[in-house]
Amino acid sequence: MSRIAIFTAELGYSVRKGIVALADAIQGSELLIVVHRPKKSLRQLVRSQWRNLRRNGWRWIPYQFGDALVRARERLRHSGGSRQGDAPGSRYAERSITKTAHITVLHTPDIHDESTLQRVRQFAPDLGIALAAPILAPPLFSIPRLGTLNLHKGKVPEYRGMPPAFWELWHGEKEVGCTVHVVEAGLDTGAIVRESRVPVRPYSTLKGLQLTLDELGVRLMTDAARAMLDGSATLTPQPPGGRTFRKPTLAQQKALRQRMSPPASDGVRVQAKELLFRGYVGAAGPVPRRLRAWRDRQRIVVLLYHRVNDDMRDSLTIGIEKFDAQMALLARHCRLVDIGDIVAGRVERDTERPIVAVTFDDGYRDNYEHAVPILLRHRVPAAFFVSTGKIDVDGAFDHDLRRIGRGLPTMTWAQLREMRDAGFTIGSHSVTHLDCGRADLAQVRAELRESKETLAQKLGTEPPIFAYPYGGRQNMTPQALDLVRAEGYVGCLSAYGGRNDGPIDPFDVRRVGINDNFTEWSFRARLEGWS
């Protein structure tokens, strides 16, 4: 049995996910999580605030208030008391981790005091791992038998220090790095065990790259830990040179955001639309929702996404950072439900919050690479409707060939099985992305049957829900809808917009499409029923 000591200064989401990934990957391991929670005196707090105020200027004051609010929301949502307690991603909650038998969490005001060192020595770890940890001193990082590894979200030796991706973008690099290295006395100077790179895409943002590095870092650290424990790791000394960076000022952070963001549209028409959406959200807010809740008639909004990436911007794509912001908003303000509960009539509609379901169509690989990690982060249930004939093959969708002149990668069955096991719903989007409103009924029947059988064989999905391709009124006839029922599907979803008010017909569930053009207020207006 392997013993692993994890050193950290926080139990944020990426750290918690790393802990669970290590526990999953190294079966039979025992983990000691040492969390550094220093208690600062009033004098130390005042000095710290004064230093930051002198360094950052007036911006520090509103920044502190905003940061405190974000942290409070994070604790409320992920401390284990989330209203989506059984949603995908719940296993990464702090409460779930602390209740795991082979994981012990030790909170200490000083990670280097003698009592903490003694506790780590008693644990006798084979390997130490630093995840978002303070700078470790030799008396601590030398205790593990095989040494201690650090996850550094940056290229070394060029970009030691912090924060992830910032200074690479500041200097115009074409890629950002992620490194697992041995901890030694110098900051981020130890031998490299694993490293990888993430290209800067045409529409990349700092937050989007940091989210990508979070996921890459978990995979690299897990792989490096396995290699260290089984003796297969190769340690590569860092080349000479390099540079160590410190946290940027708030002015530098603002400058980078402005440089990477598209010019904001300040036209009168755009501003008027924003005011309209804000007014609609206010008017459609608490009082009308309270009345609908009293009547047990709260509307259900089903959101439709297709692609999540920073490679392109079109009517089917949303950026990584914006998708993360939307999912965070849903987790804070909405009752999130699964599409299967909607078609089965199991959704209680007596809530004063908007009732929202998240769905995806087609089966693009970026759903697995970018959307799923964000959904897990915010514990948002979601359904993915895939064209089964496009999975695990290089076949392009006709609509992509027409719009962008090339095909895009789709998911594999192994990825879909992983998503199913994480708690996501997988449904049918036909075999070939068939237009059910124009195709011969015999072909419609054949694709419905084949797609259903493939989902049952590959994923055990039975009975499935059908989301018909293209999703317009003209893309589904009454005769084709009869075939959907006859072939054993339990629901049918469109994509031409609209709200789900009153009793829900499982074969007429309406969805609203979302892409990167949505602002925060136009998105919130959709949640309140704007169509």
Over residues 262-290, mean pLDDT: 80
DSSP character for 503? S
pLDDT tens figures, 216-228: 999 999 999 999 9
Mean pLDDT along residues 145-170: 97
Q: From CA 525, how far away is CA 531, in angstroms rounded?
A: 9
For residues 149 and 130, what is the distance between their CA atoms, to the nearest angstrom?
Answer: 6
Q: Quick one: pLDDT band at residue 269, thresholds 50, 70, 90?
A: confident
* Residue 171 clears pLDDT 80, i.e. is over it: yes
For the chain, the helix, strand and coil percentages under 3-state DSSP, each to the nearest 5:
45, 15, 40
Q: What pLDDT sits at residue 74?
A: 62
Quickly count helices (H) and strands (E) in the chain.
20, 19
Please count the other Cβ atoms lying within 10 Å of the Cβ belonging to residue 474: 10
pLDDT at 79 over 60: no
What is the mean predicted confidence (pLDDT) over 457-484? Answer: 96
Tell me the per-residue pLDDT of 418-457, one tens digit each, with 9 for 90 and over: 999 999 999 999 999 999 999 999 999 999 999 999 999 9
Give the lowest-confidence range in 158-167, 284-293, 321-330.
Answer: 284-293
To 5 degrees, how large is the angle CA 14–CA 361–CA 219? 25
Contact (Cβ atoms closer than 8 angstroms) between residue 498 and residue 512: yes
Find the range with the poorest average confidence among 6-15, 173-182, 228-237, 295-304: 295-304
Q: How do residues 337-354 score in pLDDT, each as one tens digit?
A: 999 999 999 999 888 889
Higher pLDDT, 10 or 54: 10
308-312 LR contacts (CB < 8 Å, sep 24+) = 308/366, 308/367, 308/370, 308/371, 308/374, 309/201, 309/366, 309/370, 310/201, 310/202, 310/203, 310/204, 310/205, 310/208, 311/201, 311/202, 311/203, 312/202, 312/203, 312/404
Portion of the chain with pLDDT greater than 90, in percent: 78
Whole-number Å distance between alpha carbons of 216 and 370: 11
Concatenate the DSSP letters of all residues of 120-183 into one string.
Answer: HHHH--SEEEESSPPPPPHHHHT-STT-EEEEESS-TTTTEESSTTHHHHHTT-SEEEEEEEE-
Confidence of residue 82 (pLDDT cuts 50, 70, 90): very low
Assess contact for 106 and 119: CB atoms under 8 A.
yes
For residue 76, pLDDT beyond 80: no
Chain centroid offset of residue 237 CA: 33
Provide the percentage of residues in the chain whose pLDDT is more than 70: 96
Rounded distance, CA 360 to CA 283, Å? 29
pLDDT of residue 84: 53
Question: Is residue 103 a contact partner of residue 19, using CB atoms and an 8 Å limit?
Answer: yes
Side-chain-facing half-sphere of 358: CA atoms under 13 Å = 28
User: Angle at CA 136, nearest 5°, toward 131 and 141?
Assistant: 90
Report the run of H or E that residue 105 belongs to, with start and end. strand 103-108
- Tell me the three state secondary structure of residue 87: coil
Please name the residues in contact with 495: beta carbons below 8 A apart, sequence gap of 6 or more.
304, 361, 467, 468, 470, 471, 472, 511, 513
Task: Give the pLDDT confidence score for residue 395 in this predicted structure.
Answer: 79
CB neighbours of residue 239 within 10 Å:
10
Task: Report angle CA 451, 426, 351 to the nearest 5 degrees.
Answer: 135
For residue 78, pLDDT over 80 is answered with no
489 pLDDT band, cuts 50/70/90, is: very high
**Predicted pLDDT at 236:** 97
pLDDT for residue 457: 97
Q: Kindly state the average pLDDT of the residues 108-114.
A: 96
Q: Is the pLDDT of residue 77 over 70?
A: no
- Mean of the per-residue pLDDT values for the chain? 92
> Which H helix or E strand runs over 403?
helix 398-403
pLDDT higher than 70, residue 378: yes
Domains and CATH numbers, the chain: 3-38+92-247 (3.40.50.170), 283-527 (3.20.20.370)
